[in-house]
Structure 1
Amino acid sequence: MKVPLAVPNLEGREAEYLQECVRSTFVSSAGPFVTRFGDQIAALSGTERAAVTCSGTVALQMALEGLGVGAGDLVMVPSLTFIASPNSVRHSGADVWLTDCTARDWTLDLDVAREAIEVHTEPDSRGRRHRTTGQMLSAVMPVMIMGASLDFDAIVRFARDYELRVIVDAAAAIGAAGADGAPLGATGVDAVCYSFNGNKTITSGGGGAVTSLDSDLVDRIDHLVTTGRVGSAYEHDVVAYNFRMTNVEAAIGVAQVERLPDFIERKREVFERYAAFAARHPDLSPFPTPADGRSVHWFSGVFYSGDDPDRCGDFAAFMVDRGIDVRPFWKPVHLQAPYRESVRTSMDVTERIWERIVPLPCSTGITDAELDYVVACATEFWNSQD
């Protein structure tokens, strides 16, 4: 049996809507599905508006630029994230201040970040200036890792203390919520950014979105991603980008959103199945679920806490040999070539845990038989290690 790690579930109205695009000839960046998809994302986020883009990385970049973050600025980003997060900061013209994560939930450690700010920055008329680089600390980019919720109240308090903008990397967190069920856009942050890559809970084949309670910000981003065009003639008032989502992509996205509740429920079932498996082995635990808010378990798997981290590689090889797609987790950003010289905090937790995180197959279309096979193979391996 072959079991992929994460593949799109396209068994809804995707083909029907794509045919509608073809018949209408609206296949590029103008068309009714673009507006419809943006409205869906805004509704899910508790906002009036959302700007849809050609990728999640671009969504983050446009949120930064729309908020005025750019050259001479620093943005705090957790090192335990996919490289798109820091790349978006660099694309905006700013630079990253990489931070450690918490051992409890693998998200940005606000205590470590606060201590770093107090030690390495000084007050400036514009906020906090990094003493060594002279750059202004302007924003923080918490990451909803694996689709897990965050303590948004704590993040917003932290940001207010240091006059920072908050851009949430919610690439994998569509459908998640804050405390008391608050939609992500209504948690007090400045912007929330999603990705709709093929391995996400919902996909448009590619693409991303920025949403915010600040409709003026969304308007600025819409203007930036549509070449800065003014009116119907070919006039442009700013150096901008062609970063738009196409109507074809949006058509797929609309069909996917229609099935989002079922997708989230299946993700929860997969998480619980792997959690039950992990509970039977003393050195394994499920991926963390923060106490606050609703997480959507984009990826699920196991965390190994035993004495020999090489067993994680042995486990992955064992599963791959049996047709189960198991891959290494993200290599932390501070260990990546473009960011080895970046400003950073200590990385005690990140360096201790990243090679112990093992994602397991978690497609929304995974069958019970496939899940049974994954768990049976995983059980075979770990029983041999106990």
Structure 2
Amino acid sequence: MFEDIIDEIRRLFKKSSGFIPLHEPRFQGNESKYVVDAITSTFVSSVGQYVDQFEDRIAKYTGARFAIATVNGTAALHIALILAGVKKDELVITQSLSFIATCNAISYIGADPLFIDIDKQTLGMSSVSLSDFLESKTEIKDNNCYHIPSGKRIAACVPMHTFGHPVDLEKITELCKVHKIPLVEDAAESIGSRYKGKHTGTFGLLGTISLNGNKTITSGGGGAILTDDEYLAKLGKHLTTQSKIPHRWEFDHDMIGYNYRMPNINAALACAQLEQLDSFVESKRRLSEKYNCFFKDYPILFMQEPKDSYSNYWLNAIILSDKSERDAFLEYSNDQLVMTRPVWRLMHKIKMFSNSYCEDMSSSEWVSERLVNIPSSVIL
């Protein structure tokens, strides 16, 4: 069976031998033209026309009123949490099955993650588990939500759209609204994905995306904050530019700021990639259809987009029977120079977060022992 899978992957990527990466970028548009233009302009750092263009274009593409370009998705999430009002020693609800950047951004503020289980269909935060937790272990006081066992304020809720598959945004958004918790979407992996026709990252108070080198589109390094709140957008741009007060020559700063602005040379690349995003997503969705058709003949579950969702299928994922079979396939496929990877180690099992408050993790544990990502690049 493993041999059949590798043969099918090689057939799909038209590569009978050699290395097949998990996800590599595609540069087939105006990337060189725009980057050379940025270099020629000499504006290659955090000021330049492409930064402004990217913010305008990504806002229009996602449907957000405002976008703030950042150096990466982690920086975007860090600032988004600050904008949402998260403070030191407060709690932020998130999922344990996530890339560590989610929890790192929470930790930068001195806040603590509070882990909720995932939904096996979305691979993201379970609205059912979130509802059960909020009903049984929180209370609302002074228009804020508090965790009863610890007495700490729950300052934000951060679901992550795993591998580009949207979480149950309708229910999670409503739960956060009822329980007075700001919703900050970690949409790092889901650019191009939609839930009920609306782009991920635009349902909450704020959302963040990533343009890392392994994402659906890339600027090498880069990210963005999305919001409909004009005040937060202006404050976010201020914070990401060292909180410098505009002046023709004076250097004055009115608060602690961050050097998080996306460089113009990266934004040039981002603008070119954004022009191809729809075609990239269409290609990735065609690949997922072919994978799904193939795996129907095997005792392996291919993860498909959830109900009411349009997924970018950033990384395709399969579910094997158990951890032993998962490990055997990982070893075989990588020996055959076909890159495959397990899901990230669960956050509550990592040393830094092992003492964080954690709800039942049954689904997260089940998925982590069985899931494997398989090659997912845009097929030329």
Report the residue type matching 1:255 in the other structure.
A
Q: What is the aligned partner in structure 2 of residue 296 from structure 1? A: 312
TM-score when scaled to structure 1? 0.90
* 1:21-65 CA-partner distances (Å, limit 9, x unpaired): 111100100000000111111011112210011110111111110
Provide the aligned length of Structure 1 versus Structure 2: 361
| Inter-partner Cα distance in structure 2 for 1:121 and 1:48 | 32
CA contact (8 A) 1:81 1:332 kept: yes
Select the residue among 276, 287, 312 that pairs with 1:270.
Answer: 287
| Inter-partner Cα distance in structure 1 for 2:195 and 2:121 | 18
| Inter-partner Cα distance in structure 1 for 2:313 and 2:23 | 12
Q: What is the aligned partner in structure 2 of residue 330 from structure 1? A: 344
Q: What is the aligned partner in structure 2 of residue 124 from structure 1? A: 141
Report the residue type matching 1:52 in the other structure.
A
Per the TM alignment, residue 185 of structure 1 is displaced from its structure 2 partner at its CA by 5.2
Q: What is the aligned partner in structure 2 of residue 286 from structure 1? A: 302
| Inter-partner Cα distance in structure 2 for 1:361 and 1:117 | 38
CA contact (8 A) 1:77 1:97 kept: yes
CA contact (8 A) 1:185 1:211 kept: yes
Report the residue type matching 1:290 in the other structure.
P
Select the residue among 53, 64, 69 that pairs with 1:47.
Answer: 64
Q: What is the aligned partner in structure 2 of residue 309 from structure 1? A: 323
CA contact (8 A) 1:274 1:301 kept: no
Select the residue among 368, 371, 380 that pairs with 1:354.
Answer: 368
Select the residue among 36, 49, 52 that pairs with 1:32.
Answer: 49
1:150 equivalent in alignment to 2:150: no
Q: What is the aligned partner in structure 2 of residue 176 from structure 1? A: 193
Per the TM alignment, residue 120 of structure 1 is displaced from its structure 2 partner at its CA by 2.7
| Inter-partner Cα distance in structure 1 for 2:271 and 2:27 | 12
Q: What is the aligned partner in structure 2 of residue 203 from structure 1? A: 218
| Inter-partner Cα distance in structure 1 for 2:180 and 2:139 | 13
CA contact (8 A) 1:72 1:94 kept: yes
* 1:104-126 CA-partner distances (Å, limit 9, x unpaired): 22221122222223333333224
CA contact (8 A) 1:331 1:354 kept: yes
Select the residue among 75, 84, 92 that pairs with 1:75.
Answer: 92
| Inter-partner Cα distance in structure 1 for 2:226 and 2:329 | 40
Cα RMSD over matched residues? 1.4
Instruction: Give the gaps of 5 or more residues in structure 1.
Output: 368-386
* 1:261-303 CA-partner distances (Å, limit 9, x unpaired): 1100111011112111211112x11113111131110001311
CA contact (8 A) 2:163 2:313 kept: yes
| Inter-partner Cα distance in structure 2 for 1:281 and 1:225 | 49
CA contact (8 A) 1:46 1:185 kept: no
Select the residue among 13, 20, 25 that pairs with 2:37.
Answer: 20
CA contact (8 A) 1:149 1:292 kept: no
CA contact (8 A) 1:328 1:358 kept: yes
For the structure 1 residues 48 and 118, does the alpha-carbon distance in structure 2 shift closer, same or farther, using more than 3 Å as the test? closer
| Inter-partner Cα distance in structure 1 for 2:239 and 2:351 | 30
Q: What is the aligned partner in structure 2 of residue 375 from structure 1? A: none
Per the TM alignment, residue 72 of structure 1 is displaced from its structure 2 partner at its CA by 3.1
CA contact (8 A) 1:138 1:163 kept: no
| Inter-partner Cα distance in structure 2 for 1:156 and 1:119 | 18
Per the TM alignment, residue 133 of structure 1 is displaced from its structure 2 partner at its CA by 2.6
TM-score when scaled to structure 2? 0.92
1:101 equivalent in alignment to 2:115: no
1:227 equivalent in alignment to 2:248: no
Report the residue type matching 2:209 in the other structure.
Y
Name the SS of the counterpart of 1:265 in structure 2. Answer: helix
| Inter-partner Cα distance in structure 2 for 1:259 and 1:78 | 31
For the structure 1 residues 311 and 183, does the alpha-carbon distance in structure 2 shift closer, same or farther, using more than 3 Å as the test? closer
Answer with 129-138 or 223-232: which moved more. 129-138
For the structure 1 residues 162 and 290, does the alpha-carbon distance in structure 2 shift closer, same or farther, using more than 3 Å as the test? same
Answer with 195-204 or 146-155: which moved more. 146-155
Instruction: Give the gaps of 5 or more residues in structure 2.
Output: 1-16
Q: What is the aligned partner in structure 2 of residue 84 from structure 1? A: 101
* 1:316-364 CA-partner distances (Å, limit 9, x unpaired): 1111121111122211111111100001101011111112111111111
Name the SS of the counterpart of 2:342 in structure 1. Answer: coil
| Inter-partner Cα distance in structure 2 for 1:178 and 1:326 | 28
* 1:218-259 CA-partner distances (Å, limit 9, x unpaired): 111101000111122211111111111100110110110011
CA contact (8 A) 2:201 2:208 kept: no
Q: What is the aligned partner in structure 1 of residue 76 from structure 2? A: 59
* 1:130-181 CA-partner distances (Å, limit 9, x unpaired): 23332101211111111112332211110012100000010011111221x1
CA contact (8 A) 1:229 1:236 kept: yes
1:236 equivalent in alignment to 2:253: yes
Report the residue type matching 1:6 in the other structure.
H
Which 4+ residue blocks in structure 1 deviate beyond 6 angstroms? none
CA contact (8 A) 1:271 1:301 kept: no
Name the SS of the counterpart of 1:168 in structure 2. Answer: strand
